[in-house]
A and B are shown apart, each in its own frame.
Chain A
Amino acid sequence: MSILVESSDVLPLVDVEIAFAAGSLQDPAGREGLALLTGHLVRRGPRGLSQQRFEDRLASLGARVSVQVSMRSTRIRATVLRRNLEPLLGLLADLVWRPAFRASDFAKLKRQARAALLARLDDDQSLAARCFREALFGEHPYARAQSGTAESLARIGLQQVEGFYGRNIAKGAFLVGVAGDVTDTEARALVSSYFPSSTRHKQKDSIVPTTKTRPGRHVIIVDKPERAQTQLLIGTLGSRTRDRNLFPLLVSNTAFGGTFSGPLMQEIRAVRGWSYSAYSRLLHAKQREAWYMTTAPASEYSADCAALQLDLLERWVDRGIKKAQLSFAQRYLINSHCFDRDTPSKRLESRLDVELLGIPRGYVEKYDELVARVSLQDANEATRTRISTRNLSIVVVATANEVAGAFESLPGVKSLEVVPFDRG
């Protein structure tokens, strides 16, 4: 077990994070949602305390605890009034070492998870995001829904949850991060006393298959009734974390669609007023993650907006960005970088990312230098190499009969599929 500390006496607050290098990528096929269910069941409290008593104890300490599961990590995040740090650490240690795993809690949790899946159908942005990942990654584990599906949740029993916990958490292969009003020495002493680690077990890095693009441009319409507006995502594969051209692509993407001043936002919102927001995002992971544009145009001009986005995308990839755009993006990224580290918890987060997600330490420590070093040639070459204009997933949440014809006519579209929004 490693301990990371970020001290700051600005506010009498402390954040504690217990982080495991295991997330939804470890979900077995057919049992998607296992990592999340495990995290949430651990969160329900330790043995010897009912859930209600556990919650009461947390609340009366002035503490809050949440669990976040990503593809590669599970993080138990707590925040507490400084004066109650020590009792909180005691509770967290109990939680991690001796989770109750009560069958009655598990049954309730599964019903809650299924209800949450249903409630999410109200959220068009989340529907679009989920469908986009399925369209882009197909059968690859990156397409998996972290929350699972009604079917996959039904296949998960308490035994699987205990197994996941035993393999990934109980062995002590976790990191503890502390940020806030506590000195380095004090934090280390406190954490060591509550989380004594006899072995330094290192979590094995999971093997992730290569992601592949589906050839051609494919439209998926998530059909939902009475939509005045659409949620539109257009994208393709982006970058690996350790790609040589990650930073050139980051700078190029920032110039294209990462700011309000970029051509994507200007053409769509400022000139035409077609969408409240228009951004492009570059994700990265062990294998190539997604690059995508996101807009929310009204139904009547959704396809026109998509056509314009495709045109802007082609111009960006084929012609590249200009020198002035490059220096603007570099200035923006370097100058705004202070907001990635203006609180102790943010500084802790980036250190945990290095430890858990395989992000090279230099990306954090030499961020400004890596951004500044990108040349115009690097940026444009990275864009041409990595961003495909031919192989694209185009996902739109809309009332299908209002938009299908227009989307089918978009240039280069190879297929169009309509799926009901509540297909499960």
Chain B
Amino acid sequence: MATSEVLIERLNRGVRKRNARLTFVRDVAFGDALRLRRFRLGNGLTVLTLIDRSAPTVSYHSWFRVGSRHERPGKTGLAHLFEHLMFNATRNRAPGDFDRLMEGAGAEANAATWTDWTYYYENAPRDALALLIELEADRMANLVLRAPQVSSEKEVVANERKLRVDDDVEGKALELLYEKAFVRHPYRWPTIGSMDDIRGFTVKDCREFYRTHYAPSNATIVIAGDFNESRALSQIQKHYGGLSAARRVERRRLSKEPPQRAERVFQLPAPTPTEKLLLGYRAPSFLDPDTPALVVANEVLFGGQSSRLHRLFCLDEELALSVRGSISPFVDTGLYEMWILLREGKKKADALALLDREIRRIGSEGPTPLELEKAICQLELSFLHSMETAGGKAEQIGFYETVANDGAAVFERLDAYGRVSVRDVKQAVAKYLRPSRRTRVEIRQRAS
């Protein structure tokens, strides 16, 4: 790897367009053995590179700071629909070319959309990198948005919604939970959108969305794996350097979510063989200093077969088939979701009483030292697993860059887990897991 000054000097030699000129920003350690290097193109595009020659593969991620929070009521699901549309024709490529070229090269291409971001990725053999750069740059600026493509993708998304929400009891319950837990914040509507909104999108909506959010200055490119950095950056200059920096991404001020002062309870009848409880406690944002302690608390409560609630609910009392919990990794205040899948004939009230008792106990006594040790070891294990492939590393970097403005912050988060004390867990549980902060969805059986 060339020194940054030499590399930049060489890459910018003869480059006249300001947008195509590269700047080296910084180089930071990424774990013990790797370096994460940050570059910026003249048009505002951030490029992060991580060379890792452990496998002959490369992962190319394009993260955009746009998600369902940037939508408006009546237009929910547009960010997600757009993710689908991005696989269609461009001014330079016919319909189907993108997938055909990617698959022919052995690349797996896909994308994901959530509340705060959308990302597109390819995991490919290392020799395919030039193709990935060319095709991704092309669709960032040259997407063709016409009625036939929009109409067909609307139908696909409507089907996806039926799959993930309408016919899925857990999907339906989650949608209800977020709708009721938030009264103002856009987190209240589903990322996939309402069926009416999906059906109602126009080509004009899509074009406007594209112009507003798909710009180099709103994107981060992450390249991880076995590749030649100099060649990759040169390709980036060539294909992204012509894109204009002129488009400004508008940022709306979001309404602040008022504090929740009392529990909200909702019933969801469904054709399901067993009853379920879904709870959502108002949780801190991903970057809040309390979040690591709450993540450790979640591991103590729900992490695997030795966890406190698994043992109580599934083994000792046999109230539930499974229990699980997770904290939404959102930019703003999200939810700490807890699921209890009851066994046949067991009562929701008993499950809730047991849950409340244990939460109170951990809030007053904290976890035992053994529980804390287990939780931190398990979080370390999960972290290492997430880093096994080039794609896993790129995803972590892209997420932390987009949400925390620092692609290497994933290691800081792991260190933060290691510093969490019994007292921190106790305080976080006592502060956040109060019944008055939660919304509860009770899924009950509806006779067929």
Contacts and interface: CB of A to CB of B under 8 A. Distances in A.
Interface in A251-307: 259-261, 266, 269-276, 296-298
Interface stretch (B53-61, B174-182, B323-331): B53-61
Given A59-B377, A61-B377, A335 B106 contact: yes
Contacts of A52: 306, 311, 315
A229 B166 contact: yes
Chain B: number of interface residues, binned into ranges = 35 or more
B314 A296 contact: no
Given A273-B155, A342-B55, A81 B381 contact: yes
Interface stretch (A117-125, A241-249, A312-320): A117-125
A60 interface: yes
Contacts of A272: 152, 155
A186 interface: no
B321 A275 contact: no
Interface stretch (B157-165, B249-257, B279-287, B406-414): B157-165
Interface residues of A, number: 64
Contact of A269 (B156, B162, B448): B156
Contact of A275 (B105, B159, B271, B380): B159
B388 A343 contact: yes
Contacts of B396: none
Contacts of B304: 55, 59, 64
B153 interface: yes
B134 interface: no
A339 B57 contact: yes
B258 interface: no
Nearest to B153: A273
Given A55-B306, A298-B159, A118 B314 contact: no
A354 B214 CA distance: 47
27 contacts: A11-B387, A52-B311, A55-B304, A60-B374, A62-B381, A81-B380, A121-B273, A228-B166, A229-B159, A229-B166, A260-B103, A261-B96, A270-B95, A270-B96, A272-B152, A273-B152, A297-B159, A298-B159, A331-B106, A332-B104, A332-B106, A335-B106, A335-B107, A335-B125, A335-B128, A338-B55, A339-B108
Interface of B: 52, 54-57, 95-96, 99-100, 103-108, 123, 125, 128, 151-156, 158-160, 162-163, 166-167, 169-170, 271-274, 303-306, 311, 314-315, 318, 321, 341, 343-344, 370, 373-374, 377-378, 380-381, 384-385, 387-390, 448
Interface of A: 8, 10-13, 51-52, 55-56, 58-64, 79-81, 108, 111-112, 115-116, 118-119, 121-122, 124, 224-229, 259-261, 266, 269-276, 296-298, 328, 331-332, 334-339, 341-343, 345, 422
